[in-house]
Structures are given as structure tokens and as C-alpha cells.
Amino acid sequence: MNNSIKDKILASIDVVEIVGEHVSLTRKGREFVGLCPFHDDHRPSLSVSPQKQIFKCWSCGAGGDVIKFVQLSQRVDFKEALAILAKRAGIEPNNRPRDDQAAAMREQISRSLAWARTHFQRNLQQTPGGRQAAEYARGRGISDAMIERFALGFAADDWDDLLSHARRAGLDENVLGQAGLITTNENNKTYDRFRNRLIFPINDAMGRCVAFGGRTLGDDQAKYLNSPETALFSKSRVLYGLDLARKAITTSREAVVVEGYTDAVLLSQAGVQNVVATLGTALTDMHAKTLVRLADRIAMCFDGDEAGLRAADRAVETALRHRVEVVVVVMDDGQDPADFVMGRGVEAFKSILQSATGALEFRWCRTEEAFRSSGQRGQRDAVEAFLRFVAQVTLAGGLNDPIDHGQLVNRLAELLTISAGDVVALLVKNKAALSRESSGTIPEIAEMSIYDEAVRDIPPGMVSAAEELFGFALSSSEHFAVMEEALSAGAQQCDPWRRLDEILEELVEHRGQYTKADVIDHCNDAGLCELVDRAIRRIGASVVTAELCQAAAGRLLAELDLLRMKSLRGDLSGGDCGRGPCDKETFDALCEVARHRHDLLGAEPHWKASR
Ligand SMILES: [Zn+2]
């Protein structure tokens, strides 16, 4: 795989998610369907394929990959779409591309993690220690079904259980180290990182294992231990349980965020399936971005102790920057969400989620509390922090309800015993300071769409001629015979053209005719879909006649002649005689092509008019 930003985006952003934000999608077999946003659609014509990562509309022909979708839906060009998506995926546009070696290492790490997940699971099921670990999990209230669903495992109480099995499986020690599975002490002795622990595999959104978390089963001081940050794992990106919760989140448009894996597992077991957990870190911008794509409301649950409240403060700030409804649930002191749901049931839990405090309200109460309980200095700090917070949130577009805003101003005025006008002035000042700080620009991106890359080296005149011809060919099979020769001649220039031509030829051969929808049905990758989209756009609402088709075919053939002439001229001037033609055969060929081209253009009545 290539390492361009485009490839990273295509690898990390799901087209179904992005399309799902604009269109209500329903599953139909292996694909999703919905009303096409690009034409006036009354019965679902848009299909989105999670396997092929493309979208296409059988009716208007819009289609391509996720980047193309953003281009069309947000009316931006390719580079802007790339920048929008890179920002969402947390990809730095100016990242230096990783080399192939690093990519190969990631692949190996991924394989060793998948192997380790199976190894831990097998330990849990088949060893005496594992059976005790499972017993412990059950003691915590985790059912066998959840042990299975979350693929819980057991790391043996041994220094080299994983290491020795891995060696026997032929895995490379260096890779195991890079995967965070083994570690080396100061005496250069290598041993298993996870020992005597109940293992929670941590997966990415696609369900691929990227790390592990382990709860000690002995008296290890570290109650919970996670994999270190690796090439595949960053705790500021990964949300535990997202692979399993994703569907429930997109269906309910709400995500419940808890702080630990046991909470996530137990809530899921109780029937709160839209639950994810952060991994020993406050909610980050990256987490928020992931969730905002899937949900309209984020409910964050925190333990009811001081640490929990502080975590809530930070999480609220982050979440509110992302234009999403954020509510905060703080459990009673000493309780975590799992205790609550096991003690009082899922309905009680859902009802506290429903009546949870809005994030802004929560942040306000915390400020007010700090204000009332501190001296002058502390009061000033609390208010300044709050003003800055409000400025940040508004700048990010997160607080655009005028009623909320008005209330906020009034409350601040009351608390500070100043006028509402002064509060507004303070807010404006904070906002101005912040926007000065954050006025960065998006770096230039020198990349092209998959289709543009395919046609990069083809003369622009030929690209437009070919696309136009494909446009006519797509609109109806009636005049296919007129265009066939030119299409198959042009098709050799690049892969998407060749494949679209093959699809047309095959349909004609087998059925004698085709409709646009038939052709689109056969297009199964982004390059092809984009070609179809371009071709259809290029001819617009033209009424397709045999003459128009013939003219377009002539233009493409003439462009091909021009290319051939250029290459023959190159051959001639490359000869060693220095001046004039020295190769008779080449010269004759050149004349022949030139004549052919002249005939084509001469026979073409609409040459100037239709350009
Ligand atoms: Zn459409």
C-alpha cells in the first residue's frame, strides 16, 4: 500500500459513515441504500458498499470513493475534500510518508497481535489458570456470552508463556517487542508484559486487535495495565468497544462513554449496546471526532469522586468543541456505571442518561462552585478559565444556541456583578485572542484522486474527448455501434477506460443492449465510479443522437491520432541523421496518421460548435 494522505484517508475513514451523515441508509444485503442527495430522488437509488468503499447512484451516475462524496456533498475540490477528511481522521497533511519497511512492520505487528488474542483466549478456555480467570470475570458479573463477545483472555502467571508459544509459532521477537507484548529488563532478559491477568483485547473500529488491557488477578500494584503506545496503538485515538458498539451508536445516534473496559462490558451486557470506553485518558479531540461522525448526542459517565469530576471537566471541554449535544452523568460517590446498572437495572440507567445535565450547565456549576468557595485570586482564575472555555467552544461552533448564550451571559453578569454588556465584551475579547492563536492554514497537498492519477499522463484534450464519448455511451446503448471502435481504441490509454469499455462490450455482447443502471451496477471500484460520474456530468442534458455520438467518436480518434503523431515525430527527431526524416517507414506512418486525422476532422460537422 502507498502511504499518501489519500491512501491513509481511504484506509481509515469509512465511506458508509460519511455518507450516513447526509443520507439515511438502510442495509440491503452486503450494501447500504438510501435516497441520492445529488438528484431529486424518490426511491432509493444510492448504494454504498462497505466492502468496496464506494458509493454510486444508478440513476444520476454520481459515484466514487469517500473523497469524491465529500467533494460532491460539500461542493469542494479534491484538495479541499482531502483536507477536510484528513482533519477528521487526525492525519497530518504534512506528514512525511512512512517507508515501506515501516508499513511491513505494522503488518507484522498486526499479525502478532491477532495471534496473541487467540493465544490469550485459548489460555482462558483451556488452562486451569484460565478457568480461574474466567471464574473471576464471572464473579465481577461478566457473563459467558460477554466473555465470548469481547474475546476476553488470560495471560498465564508465568514469565514466558506467551514468549515461548510465540517462538514455537515462528513469530519474531523484535516484532513481539514492537507490538508491546514482551518487554526487556535491565539485565537484558526478555519476558511477557502481561502476566496473571484477565485480558481485554482492544480493537480498532474495524475489529482488528491493536492492543491489550489486562486486569491483575494477583496482587500486582498496577491493577490495570495497557499495551504501550505502538505503531498501531494510541490511546488518544482508540475507543474500547467501538467495533461492537458502532451499529448501536449509529442506530440510536447516541454514544455512551465510560472510563473503563469493565464498565463498557457490563453496560453492554445489561443492554446498553452503544457504549465505548476511553482507555485511562480523558476524552481527546480524536475520540470526539470519531464519535461525532456516528452520533448526535454523547453521554459521558464519570465516577463520582474528585478524579472523576476533574476528568469530566476536561472531557466536556473537548466534546463541546465538536458541535454535538454533550451530557454528563456523574455517578454517586464511590459508584461506577457498572455498579449502578447492576444494582438498579438498565431502565434506571437509561433514565439518568435521559435526564443528564447538559455539558455547559455542568461546566457552569463547576465554575460557580469554584467561584463561591475560593478567595479573590481563585475567583478570577475560575472565571477566566470559564470565559476561555466559552470562547473556545463558540469559536469551534459548539455553542450556537442563542438562548443558551443569552442565559450564560446573564448568569455570568450576576456572578461577577457586572453588566451583561461587559460580559459580552469579555467574551468577544477572549474569542479574538483565541482566533489569533489558532489562525493556522492548511498546508498545500499535492495529491490527486484515483481517477485523476490514472489519466495523469493523458493529454487533456483526449481525456475530455474520451469522457464525453463514455457519457454518450452510458446514456443509451442505442448508438453503441457508432462509438465502439473509438471506445476500444481509446480504452487502451488507462485502466478505468479499459474496464468501462469492457463492461459496455460485455453487456452488448450478452444482452444486445444495456441501460445506464446496468453499467453502473457493474462498476465496482472508485476509479470506475468516478469515471462514470465525470462522463455523465460532461454530457449534461444533451439529447443523444447518432450524429453527436459519431462526432464524439471522431474527436477521440483524432486525439489518438495526435498522440500517435507526437510519438512518431519523437521517433524521427530521435534519429541520428540530425535534420529531417531519416526513417522512411516512420515518416510514411506519420503521413498516414495525419491524413486519417484530417479525414476525421473534415468529416466532423460539429467540431467547433460542440466544444
Ligand atoms: Zn443520484
- Which is it for the CA torsion 412, 414, 416, 419, positive or negative? positive
User: So what's the pLDDT on residue 100?
Assistant: 65
**Distance (Å) from CA 533 to ligand 1 centroid:** 10
* pLDDT over threshold 60, residue 439: no
C-alpha distances out from residue 307 to 61, 213, 259, 300, 365, Å: 54, 21, 11, 14, 17
C-alpha distances out from residue 145 to 149, 216, 270, Å: 6, 21, 12
C-alpha cell of 187? 539485565
* pLDDT over threshold 80, residue 574: no
**Distance (Å) from CA 484 to ligand 1 centroid:** 27
User: So what's the pLDDT on residue 609?
Assistant: 38
pLDDT digits (tens, 9 = 90+) for 57-66: 999 999 999 9
DSSP summary character for residue 209: E
Pairing of strands 31-34, 46-49: antiparallel
User: So what's the pLDDT on residue 1?
Assistant: 42
Please provide the DSSP assignment of 236-291 as one string: TT--BTHHHHHHHHHHHTEEEEESSHHHHHHHHHHT--SEEE--SSPPPHHHHHHH
* pLDDT over threshold 80, residue 7: yes
User: Within 10 A of 369 (CB to CB), how many other CB atoms are there?
Assistant: 12
> How big is the CA angle at 483 (ends 481 and 486), to the nearest 5 degrees?
130
Q: What CATH class is the domain 242-355?
A: alpha beta
CATH number for 100-226 (one of 1.20.1440.230, 3.90.980.10, 3.40.50.2300, 3.40.50.1820): it is: 3.90.980.10
**Distance (Å) from CA 47 to ligand 1 centroid:** 10
Of the ranges 32-41, 197-206, 441-450, which one carries the lowest mean pLDDT score?
A: 441-450
pLDDT digits (tens, 9 = 90+) for 75-131: 778 888 888 888 888 776 554 555 567 778 888 999 999 999 999 999 999 999 999
User: So what's the pLDDT on residue 351?
Assistant: 93
Q: What average pLDDT is seen over the chain?
A: 85
* pLDDT over threshold 70, residue 440: no
Q: Which class for 447: exposed (0-12), middle (13-18), buried (19 or more C-beta within 10 A)?
A: middle
Of the ranges 52-56, 68-72, 541-545, 546-550, which one carries the lowest mean pLDDT score?
A: 541-545
pLDDT digits (tens, 9 = 90+) for 594-609: 888 777 776 544 444 3
Q: What is the mean pLDDT of residues 138-147?
A: 95
**Distance (Å) from CA 501 to ligand 1 centroid:** 22
Q: Which class for 189: exposed (0-12), middle (13-18), buried (19 or more C-beta within 10 A)?
A: exposed
User: So what's the pLDDT on residue 307?
Assistant: 79
Q: pLDDT band at 590, cuts 50/70/90?
A: confident
* pLDDT over threshold 70, residue 264: yes
How many residues are recorded in the chain?
611
8 A C-beta contact, residue 337 and residue 263? yes
**Distance (Å) from CA 54 to ligand 1 centroid:** 14
**Distance (Å) from CA 338 to ligand 1 centroid:** 46
User: So what's the pLDDT on residue 442?
Assistant: 38
* pLDDT over threshold 60, residue 165: yes
Query: For cell 493529454, what's the residue?
Result: 459
**Distance (Å) from CA 176 to ligand 1 centroid:** 49
Query: How far is it, in rounded angstroms, from Cα 92 to Cα 188?
Result: 36
User: So what's the pLDDT on residue 3?
Assistant: 61
**Distance (Å) from CA 41 to ligand 1 centroid:** 7
User: So what's the pLDDT on residue 520?
Assistant: 92
Beta strands in 427-469 (DSSP E): none
**Distance (Å) from CA 186 to ligand 1 centroid:** 63
Query: How far is it, in rounded angstroms, from Cα 97 to Cα 74?
Result: 27
8 A C-beta contact, residue 359 and residue 328? yes
3-state helix, strand, coil in the chain (%, to 5): 55, 10, 35
User: So what's the pLDDT on residue 602?
Assistant: 64
C-alpha distances out from residue 309 to 282, 305, 314, 325, Å: 11, 6, 9, 19
Query: How far is it, in rounded angstroms, from Cα 485 to Cα 491?
Result: 10
Query: For cell 463541546, what's the residue?
Result: 320
**Distance (Å) from CA 102 to ligand 1 centroid:** 41
C-alpha cell of 350? 437509561
The residues, ordered by sequence, that sit 6+ positions from 62 with a Cβ below 8 Å of its Cβ are: 36, 38, 39, 46, 55, 56, 72, 533
Query: For cell 446498553, what's the residue?
Result: 272
C-alpha cell of 494? 488507462
**Distance (Å) from CA 475 to ligand 1 centroid:** 14
Q: Where are the domains of the chain?
A: 5-89, 100-226, 242-355, 365-437, 450-602
pLDDT digits (tens, 9 = 90+) for 288-306: 888 887 888 999 998 877 7
User: So what's the pLDDT on residue 403?
Assistant: 62
User: So what's the pLDDT on residue 124?
Assistant: 97
**Distance (Å) from CA 447 to ligand 1 centroid:** 27
Amino acid at 444: E
**Distance (Å) from CA 560 to ligand 1 centroid:** 32
**Distance (Å) from CA 218 to ligand 1 centroid:** 60
User: So what's the pLDDT on residue 348?
Assistant: 93
**Distance (Å) from CA 37 to ligand 1 centroid:** 6
**Distance (Å) from CA 451 to ligand 1 centroid:** 20
* pLDDT over threshold 50, residue 30: yes
**Distance (Å) from CA 25 to ligand 1 centroid:** 14
The residues, ordered by sequence, that sit 6+ positions from 461 with a Cβ below 8 Å of its Cβ are: 559, 562
**Distance (Å) from CA 39 to ligand 1 centroid:** 5
User: So what's the pLDDT on residue 179?
Assistant: 96
The residues, ordered by sequence, that sit 6+ positions from 594 with a Cβ below 8 Å of its Cβ are: 561, 565
What residues form DSSP beta bridges with 28? 31
Q: What is the mean pLDDT of residues 566-590?
A: 69
**Distance (Å) from CA 384 to ligand 1 centroid:** 50
**Distance (Å) from CA 452 to ligand 1 centroid:** 22
* pLDDT over threshold 50, residue 611: no
3-state secondary structure 145-200: HHHHHCCCEEECCCCCHHHHHHHHCCCCHHHHHHCCCEEECCCCCEEECCCCEEEE
**Distance (Å) from CA 73 to ligand 1 centroid:** 12
User: So what's the pLDDT on residue 582?
Assistant: 60
**Distance (Å) from CA 483 to ligand 1 centroid:** 26
User: So what's the pLDDT on residue 399?
Assistant: 61
**Distance (Å) from CA 522 to ligand 1 centroid:** 16
- Which is it for the CA torsion 490, 495, 500, 504, positive or negative? positive
- With respect to CATH, is domain 5-89 assigned 3.40.50.1220? no
Query: How far is it, in rounded angstroms, from Cα 342 to Cα 250?
Result: 25
* pLDDT over threshold 90, residue 272: yes
Query: For cell 449502578, what's the residue?
Result: 340
- Higher-confidence residue of 332 and 505: namely 505
Helix (H, G, I), strand (E, B) or coil at 211: strand
Q: What is the mean pLDDT of residues 520-541?
A: 90
8 A C-beta contact, residue 367 and residue 386? yes
**Distance (Å) from CA 540 to ligand 1 centroid:** 14
**Distance (Å) from CA 550 to ligand 1 centroid:** 28
